[in-house]
Structure 1
């Protein structure tokens, strides 16, 4: 079993307590372990971050950019090793893990460039002989909490902008998938990131939650995960001046209109629904089809789903990987059983892959006969499960998309440009796709949902600077010094 150390105060440390890391393709034997830090260790992490921030905020943005550019180079150089660990701890295919690794490097490179750009705006001033501008400044020590489903790209998405703008971070990777985040930390450390600027807390959340969330030095928390946990964090912050950026749940819909290219739509929906076994926040989990093409589309959809190959992420033939853990597998199977009990029909799939009893496999599943009141239509399943409904027309389709507490992503498939733009205007979600998947947003594109899917602060692009920086307004009198009389 490999032992992987964690990063605190510029040093790689271990403890006497460990967390085992398992491969969801076969959970019988752990393949790695990481330190299980204590509450005292977490406080030490904040001590280091506080000291690290004091120096990093004054570091030249060109030096910050150099560190990030070098870290991106190292990630690309180590892509094979990193992708193998992502697959081993998460289960996704090597192709998906490699894509995630290279995208993490993209984030570092993008924010290296952004760190070099202007950081404010020159403003007109009504007073003669005055020049007024705004400037952006880092806010301080930020807690980063990332999920298990994208264990490398999510911390890269969060850490890159906040570190590039001069903040320091305490980073808590998901307990199930800590190795990917440690690879990211290793690349930044090897690239020259100063001690204390980034500290990685590997540990069991239940044992360190109070120390992690209640430290008075926290000025911001960025979190990706479930609504239940996100809302618990928000309630904990209610009387504190701490920014909260949350990327929470989704129940994303794809709409297939009667004029759509049905074979292309079926391929895109399957890619959006079953990539990473449906364990993406932007995965399509609801399909809304206009009645005249419902039967034809469902036939095409079922054929595409049945063509998927279930297997371990290390097998090049695999197109549907295992779920990330036994807990996740069992939860998805329970959701499927409840859907059938409530009246849904299993068109294909519907159970565990019994041929691999030691892995976390669920068959790719399509449900029909689904009604709006069913839990599988309204609640996030986060697995390879797709629910399909027919509607009468465009208006009913948009109403079905918006009839949700979530608002992350939606797609429409149509040949009509008017329908496409009308859908973009009327869909109540943060991302809209036309004739393409609900997944796959690039590093420079603002990302984040509406309603219960997000909290107002976007990720990615320049929009994220609203979270990781504060704006100061500076007025300079450039004329003769003003005289006072007394």
Structure 2
């Protein structure tokens, strides 16, 4: 079992107290152990970040871009090593893990380029001999809290833009999947990131929560995770001038209209639903089908689902990986049992996979449920697993109503050959991400990302839209003559 150190103040450190990291494909033997930092260690990380920010905000954006470009190169050079750890700690297939690793490098490259771009706007002024401009500045020390389901790409999505714009960070990876985030930190460190600009806090959240969230030097917090935790953080910040960016839950729907290419729609919905075993905030978990094609589409859908191969992510033949932990597996199974109790019919799957070596892992068979209603809990609650519920509706209007009848509003898709229906859906669906004849997950680094309603806050991620979160705007008026 490997013993890993964490990054604080430009040094790799350990404390003597450890947390074990499991492999969800086989939980019998721990994969690695990471330092369990104490509250005093967290405060020290903020000390380092404060000093790092003072240096980094004055560092040339061209030097920031150089560090990012080198870190991206290092990640690509180390892709097999990093992807192996993503698979080992999270369970993802090799293809998913390599894709996530390369996308993390893409984030660094994109924001390396953005760091070189203009950072303000020249404005007209009514006064004679006066020029006005705005300039964007970093806001300070930002706390980054990332989840276990995308343990590398989420830190990259969050850290790249805030560091590129001159901020410093204290980064708390998920305790279940810290190895991926440590790889990202190591690439930046090895590329020459100054000491203290990025500090990684590993530890048990319950033991360090106060030190982590209440430090007066925090300028902003960016969080991806559950609504329960996100709302608790937001309430904790209510009387403080601290920005909060939350990428929260989703209950994403794909609509299949009667004119759709049904075989294509079935394949695409399965990819959207069961990639990463459904453990994506943008995963399709609801399918709304126009009634004339409901039976045929459902038949095609079940056939595609039953072709998936459940197994460990390290097996090249695997197309459906394990869930990330015993806790997550048991939560998904509880949702399934509740759905059946409420009248849902299991068309395929519906149980844990404990055959052979799978008995020691967190495997759940890919599941399709029918006979659900708008009131069925599994139609409304985020499951975060390989579970897809299907409902029939009479027409386009009912389909859009079904999509919008949710407290969430992250992603939605429509499958149709009709351009008018596609544009109507884009206009009427109450979600931040809309796909037409495409999967709900999977957005390039330059595209703004984030949801509506309870799926997120006003600050988007990705693209240049994220700069609204990580920078502040200063307006400067210069009078240059009488």
- Which bracket does the TM-score occupy, shorter chain normalised? over 0.9
> Who is 1:53 aligned against?
53
Measured against aligned partners, the alpha-carbon deviations of 1:352-372 in whole angstroms (never above 9, x if no partner) come to: 002111100000000000000
Match of 2:422 in 1: 420
Give 1:478 deviation, angstroms. 1.8
- Counterpart residue number, 2:281: 281
| SS across alignment from 2:359 | coil
For structure 2, the 5+ residue unaligned runs are none
2:447 alignment partner in structure 1: 445
Match of 1:456 in 2: 458
Alpha-carbon separation, structure 2, partners of 1:115 and 1:264: 40
Q: Distance in 1 between matches of 2:393 and 2:141?
A: 49
Q: Write out per-residue CA displacement over residues 322-380 of structure 1, whole angstroms, 9 at most, x where no aligned residue.
A: 00000000000000000000000000000000211110000000000000001100000
Distance 2:386 2:364 in 1: 7
- When the two chains are superposed, the root-mean-square deviation of aligned CA atoms in Å is 0.4
Task: Give SS of 1:148's match.
Answer: coil
**Which secondary structure state, in structure 2, belongs to the residue aligned with residue 472 of structure 1?**
strand
Contact in 1 for aligned 2:354/2:360 (Cα 8 Å): no
Give the TM-score of the pair, scaled to structure 2. Answer: 0.99
The whole-number CA distance in structure 1 between the counterparts of 2:155 and 2:80 is: 19
Residue 369 of structure 1 corresponds to 371
User: Match for residue 394 of structure 2?
Assistant: 392
- Name the structure 1 match of 2:38: 38
Q: Quote how far apart the aligned CAs of 1:15 are.
A: 1.1
Which residue matches 2:113? 113
User: What do the CA deviations read for 1:230-281 (whole angstroms, capped 9, x no partner)?
Assistant: 0000000000000000000000000000000000000000000000000000
Find the counterpart in structure 1 of residue 254 from structure 2: 254
Instruction: Classify the secondary structure of the residue corresponding to 2:454.
Output: helix
CA distance in 2, matches of 1:282, 1:456: 18
Which residue is 1:484 aligned to?
none
**Aligned counterparts of 1:415 and 1:176: Cα–Cα separation in 2:** 43
- 1:224: which partner in 2? 224
Secondary structure of the structure 1 residue equivalent to 2:54: helix
C-alpha separation in 1, matches of 2:134 and 2:27: 54
Per-residue deviation, 1:307: 0.2
Matches within 5 A, 1:86-101: 86-101=86-101
Q: Secondary structure at the match of 2:352?
A: coil
Q: Distance in 2 between matches of 1:184 and 1:31?
A: 19
1:473 pairs, out of 456, 472, 475, with 475
Cα distance in structure 2, aligned partners of 1:152 and 1:445: 18
The runs of 5 or more residues in structure 1 that have no matched partner are: 481-486
Query: SS of the counterpart of 1:460?
Result: coil
Distance (Å, rounded) in 2 between the aligned partners of 1:275 and 1:67: 32
- In the alignment, the residues of structure 1 paired with residue 94 and residue 14 of structure 2 have an alpha-carbon distance, to the nearest angstrom, of 29
Partner residue in 2 for 1:432:
434
C-alpha distance in 1, partners of 2:367/2:90? Answer: 21
Aligned to 1:136: 136
After TM superposition, what 4+ stretches of structure 1 lie above 3 angstroms from structure 2? none
**Aligned 8 A contact 2:144 2:221 in 1:** yes
Q: 1:150 aligns to what?
A: 150
Shift of 1:38: 0.3
1:172-225 deviations in Å (ceiling 9; x for gaps): 000000000000000000000000000000000000000000000001000000
